[in-house]
Amino acid sequence: MQRAREWLREASSVAALTGAGISAESGIPTFRGAGGLWREFRAEDLATPEAFARDPRLVWEWYDWRRGLIAHAEPNAGHRALVELAQRVERFTLITQNVDGLHDRAGSRDVLKVHGDIWMVRCTACGRQTRDDRVPLPELPPHCECGGLLRPGVVWFGEPLPDNVWREAERATRQAEVFLVIGTAAVVYPAAGLVPLAKAAGAKVIEINLDETPYSAQVDCSLRGRAGELLPEVIA
Ligand code: BV8
Ligand code: ZN
């Protein structure tokens, strides 16, 4: 922990990659942890274009349920610690796989949302993309003014990540002197590939996670514990 603290104090460019684990202490279930993300379904079964084509109402019930959870949740000390860190470091980039928007609500700016945003909806007919934060939604599945079916503005399995956001995330990772990887199982690509990319570019990589991940043995410092407790300590 002491080494990690020193690296962060000396760094002029830092990048952080967060996953569902940083929102766990806000009461948002993780994808692969105990209890999973929804009753008998797995994210891999619902977060896909095929599932949406087959049963848009079921997929929207899942997203509407998650939007309700998130709307009643608050950012936690882990989210806030990253806002604090951004104010101290000359160049700080926050990259998140989370679609919940809790980093923004904590005060983070210019968050790179590589898997999209649950509060955005996109029309499958006219392509119009708008923010819709009504919970619950008045009708499932929701429709656009043009009559087209709306989909959540998130990246599903098998779909490409938003090009400009992804390029920016890679650039920030390559330039980071210190790369924090927080609360992610690091099994979903290409996002997880940012960890070896940071390492190859010469960054000190610090992992914060409750459990081991496929990268725990390769990072420079692997801190075992809750992000809400460890992040405030490591940025102190
Ligand atoms: C792509 C958004 C190519 C929606 C998500 C076979 C078939 C098809 C595709 C593939 C395949 N094999 C591989 C792939 C690629 C696939 C992939 O990686 N699959 C994995 C499962 C093997 N990737 C894709 O499909 C990506 N697209 O490759 O496109 C392409 C290119 C060009 C043109 C066309 C196509 C798209 C991936 C994005 C999918 N969307 N979500 C939504 O959220 O509903 S993924 C989903 O998983 C979430 O975004 C989530 O963020 C992400 C990663 O999960 P984690 O954040 O890591 O969360 P998890 O629960 O897993 O882990 C939590 C961690 O926190 C744990 O380690 C736990 O220990 C820890 N923790 C818990 N509590 C705490 C904590 N740590 C600290 N403190 C705590 N308190
Ligand atoms: Zn439309």
Interatomic CA distance for residues 30 and 50, integer angstroms: 22
Q: Report, as an integer, the average pLDDT of 29-35.
A: 78
Lowest mean pLDDT across 12-16, 37-41, 166-170: 37-41
DSSP 8-state code for residue 190: T
Which residues are annotated as catalytic?
115
Domain boundaries, the chain: 2-28+75-115+161-234, 29-72+117-154
- Which residues, 6+ apart, have CB-to-CB distance to 236 below 8 Å? 5
pLDDT at 40 (0 to 100): 67
Kindly tell me the sign of the dihedral angle through the C-alpha atoms of 33, 112, 160, 123.
positive
Smallest CA separation from ligand 1 atom 22, residue: 188
Query: Which mutation among 70, 117, 188, 189 tests ligand 1's pocket best, with the greatest number of atoms within 8 A of CB?
Result: 188
* CATH number, span 29-72+117-154: 3.30.1600.10
What are the tokens at 84? 């604090």
Smallest CA separation from ligand 1 atom 78, residue: 226
Which class would CATH give 2-28+75-115+161-234?
alpha beta
pLDDT at 37 over 80: no
What are the pLDDT digits (tens) for 47-105?
999 999 999 999 999 999 999 999 999 999 999 999 999 999 999 999 999 999 999 99
Interatomic CA distance for residues 197 and 66, integer angstroms: 31
Among residues of the chain, what percentage have pLDDT more than 90?
A: 93
Distance 133 CA to ligand 2 centre (A): 17
pLDDT at 41 over 80: no
